[in-house]
């Protein structure tokens, strides 16, 4: 005689982690799987149609049921005939809508519990969240299940998740029902619709270059397949012998990859793997928080009119700047849980699954650019082409200072030289009066040897001046004898251009003087209707 078919139900079965659990349950062939979710029908992706899920739906080992958690009658109908319930349904955590979260996480969870008790379901595994013990202010380092619920949660999602979890744990042993709660930390992996897509969107909009906080906050991430594995481990522990089930039931368990990593390093690995730049500019959380409050306020008013759910919210800023690591010893001891996939392997699989979101790489030509070659490819080229940003900024600063202090005032060459010498002498005087140390910093004094000219150096300078003078005299002699026509035409052209510029300047000055003279001339008096000039009337 064939054994009766055993069924389990996965609420929210088309969600991110739930899909992986459904496939794992089908692969293990312990239960036939009932997928319960809100859409009226199931829509399979191409890889699912040709995979295990598609085959299971065709063979009857899996079936889809449309239901609304908030309607108890529909919940009872979806769970009827099942031995185990994996309650994974939850709304999008990024939407801070208390009414929505309460109706699903609290009312919906209570409907699931009541249906399980009424239908004498044997085991209920509820998917909770580590956020139920996070207050949004204090970081958590290696936190265990002894952490209490905080007086105030970070957001509505966390607060309602805590209420739902408390209801599930309280319902343990009600009419033979054994319950436990799984708290997976920061799930990532293929088919994720929140983390990776939001990172890519931010990168394409140029927002991924920023780090909120100091960038050293640690996080525990969990690969999605490990989350599914933890649910199976919990179900097997509750189905074990009485003493094991007694120990495992009525408890909450943190689930992680057991490999804490800096949050922003994890984000950087994903972005770099998809061809985007890693974040590098640090912004204190206190600076970005007021902006996040304004964005959230704007969404409250404009959300009903089509405004998209903002990524920058106060609760998310707190999550991105705090540390959250958890201890999985309890899950390891009582459920037999150990991660199947490491963080490194999980990242590789995740990045490979999002090939369609990769950055479009521009082909870079090897070797220097044409502009660099034309400029000589040396220090001048590096400065003009911003290859050495420090040197370029220094050059710009010097040029601006010279312009505003020497050129803009209209100084002559002699005045400019005297100004430079004056500034230099003042600087040397102040520098010479400074002590050797100021506030712990060593002041390097200019040695007297820097101002000493040796006999050889003096001779070279004198020879250089004499040589320049002789060269100038030689050029003048050559011009006077008519030996170098090229030089003559160059000099004559330069004189002509200088003369034209002088005449143009003189003409502009004369026009300005005439215009100013006209504006100063008094206007002739005009008789008004009374026949008396305005000057006489004023008198």
Is the pLDDT at 529 greater than 60, yes or no? no
Compute the average pLDDT of residues 417-435: 79
Q: Are residues 353 and 393 in the same domain?
A: no
Domain assignment of residue 499, yes or no: no
- Residue ending a domain, choose from 424, 439, 460: 424
Identify the pLDDT of residue 92: 87
Q: Are residues 281 and 411 in the same domain?
A: no
Please state, rounded to an integer, the average pLDDT across all residues of the chain.
Answer: 85
Q: Are residues 280 and 312 in the same domain?
A: yes
Q: What is the CATH number of the domain that holds 27?
A: 3.40.50.720
Identify the pLDDT of residue 533: 39
Domain assignment of residue 445, yes or no: no
Radius of gyration of the chain (CA): 40
Q: Are residues 263 and 390 in the same domain?
A: no
Q: Are residues 249 and 106 in the same domain?
A: yes
Of 142, 172, 193, 517, residue with least CA distance to 327: 142
Domain assignment of residue 488, yes or no: no
Instruction: Supply the residues annotated as catalytic.
Output: 161
- Residue ending a domain, choose from 357, 379, 394: 357
For 452, residues 6+ apart whose C-beta sits below 8 A from its C-beta are none
Identify the pLDDT of residue 504: 78
Identify the pLDDT of residue 534: 37
Q: Are residues 376 and 314 in the same domain?
A: no
Domain assignment of residue 495, yes or no: no
Is the pLDDT at 446 greater than 60, yes or no? yes
Identify the pLDDT of residue 393: 79
Supply the range of the domain harboring residue 333.
7-357
Q: Are residues 25 and 95 in the same domain?
A: yes
DSSP letters, 71-113, are -HHHHHHHHTT-SEEEE-----TT---HHHHIIIIIIIHHHHH
Q: Are residues 191 and 287 in the same domain?
A: yes
Q: Count how many domains the chain has.
A: 2
Q: Are residues 215 and 268 in the same domain?
A: yes
- Residue ending a domain, choose from 311, 326, 357: 357
Is the pLDDT at 286 greater than 50, yes or no? yes
Identify the pLDDT of residue 34: 97
Identify the pLDDT of residue 538: 36
Q: What is the pLDDT of residues 97-155, one digit of tens each?
A: 899 999 999 999 999 999 999 999 999 999 999 999 999 889 999 999 999 999 999 88
Identify the pLDDT of residue 257: 97
Q: Are residues 376 and 321 in the same domain?
A: no
Cα–Cα distance for residue pair 417/408, rounded to 1 Å: 15
Domain assignment of residue 119, yes or no: yes
Q: What is the pLDDT of residues 205-248, one digit of tens each?
A: 888 888 998 899 999 999 999 999 999 999 999 999 999 999 99
DSSP letters, 212-261, are ESSS--EE--EEHHHHHHHHHHHHHHHTS-HHHHHHHTT-EEEE--S--E
Q: Phi/psi class of residue 189: alpha, beta or left (left: φ > 0; alpha: ψ in -120 to 50)? A: left
CB burial of 195-234 (b: ≥16 within 10 Å; e: otherwise) equals bbeebbebbeeeebeebbbebebbbbbbbbbbbbbbbbbb
Compute the average pLDDT of residues 54-83: 95
Q: Are residues 389 and 349 in the same domain?
A: no
Domain assignment of residue 492, yes or no: no
Q: Are residues 381 and 325 in the same domain?
A: no
Domain assignment of residue 461, yes or no: no
Domain assignment of residue 485, yes or no: no
């Amino acid at each position: 005689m064939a054994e009766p078919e055993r069924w389990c139900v996965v609420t929210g079965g088309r969600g991110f982690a739930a899909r992986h659990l459904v496939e794992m349950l089908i692969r293990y062939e312990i239960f036939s799987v009932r997928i319960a979710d809100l859409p009226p029908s199931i829509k399979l992706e191409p890889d699912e149609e040709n995979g295990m899920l598609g085959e299971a739906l065709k063979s009857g080992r899996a079936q889809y049921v449309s239901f609304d958690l908030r309607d108890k009658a529909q919940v009872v109908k979806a769970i009827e005939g099942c031995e185990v319930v994996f309650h994974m349904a939850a709304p999008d955590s990024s939407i801070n809508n208390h009414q929505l979260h309460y109706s699903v996480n609290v009312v919906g969870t209570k409907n699931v519990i009541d249906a399980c008790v009424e239908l004498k379901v044997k085991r209920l595994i509820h998917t909770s969240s580590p956020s139920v013990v996070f207050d949004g202010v204090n970081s958590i380092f290696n936190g265990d299940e002894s952490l209490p619920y905080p007086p105030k949660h970070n957001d509505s999602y966390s607060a309602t998740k805590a209420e739902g979890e408390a209801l599930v744990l309280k319902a343990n042993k009600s009419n033979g029902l054994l319950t436990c709660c799984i708290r997976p930390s920061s799930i990532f992996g293929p088919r994720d619709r929140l983390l990776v897509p939001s990172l890519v969107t931010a990168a394409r909009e140029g927002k991924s270059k920023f780090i909120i906080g100091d960038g050293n906050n640690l996080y525990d991430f969990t690969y999605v397949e490990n989350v599914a594995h933890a649910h199976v481990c919990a179900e097997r522990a509750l189905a074990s012998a009485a003493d094991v089930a007694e120990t495992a039931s009525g408890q909450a368990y943190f689930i992680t990859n057991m490999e804490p990593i800096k949050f922003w390093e994890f984000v950087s690995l994903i972005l770099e793997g998809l061809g985007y730049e890693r974040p590098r500019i640090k912004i204190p959380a206190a600076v970005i928080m007021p902006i996040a409050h304004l964005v959230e306020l704007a969404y409250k008013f404009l959300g009903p009119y089509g405004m998209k759910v903002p990524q920058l919210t106060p609760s998310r800023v707190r999550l991105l700047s705090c540390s959250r690591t958890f201890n999985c010893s309890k899950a390891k001891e009582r459920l037999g849980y150990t991660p199947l996939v490491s963080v490194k392997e999980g990242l590789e699989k995740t990045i490979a699954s999002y090939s369609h979101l990769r950055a479009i790489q521009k082909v870079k030509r090897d070797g220097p650019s044409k502009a660099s070659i034309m400029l000589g490819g040396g220090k001048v080229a590096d400065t003009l082409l911003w290859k050495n940003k420090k040197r370029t900024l220094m050059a710009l600063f010097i040029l601006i200072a010279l312009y505003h202090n020497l050129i803009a005032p209209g100084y002559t060459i002699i005045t400019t030289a005297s100004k430079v010498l004056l500034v230099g002498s003042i600087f040397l005087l102040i520098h010479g009066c400074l002590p050797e140390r100021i506030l712990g910093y060593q002041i390097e004094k200019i040695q007297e040897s820097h101002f000493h000219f040796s006999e050889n150096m003096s001779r070279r300078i004198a020879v250089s001046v004499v040589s320049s003078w002789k060269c100038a005299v030689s050029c003048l002699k050559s011009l006077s004898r008519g030996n170098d026509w090229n030089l003559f035409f160059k000099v004559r052209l330069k004189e002509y251009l200088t003369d034209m510029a002088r005449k143009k300047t003189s003409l502009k000055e004369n026009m300005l003087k005439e215009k100013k003279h006209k504006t100063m001339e008094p206007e002739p008096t005009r008789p008004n209707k009374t026949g008396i000039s305005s000057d006489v009337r004023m008198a």
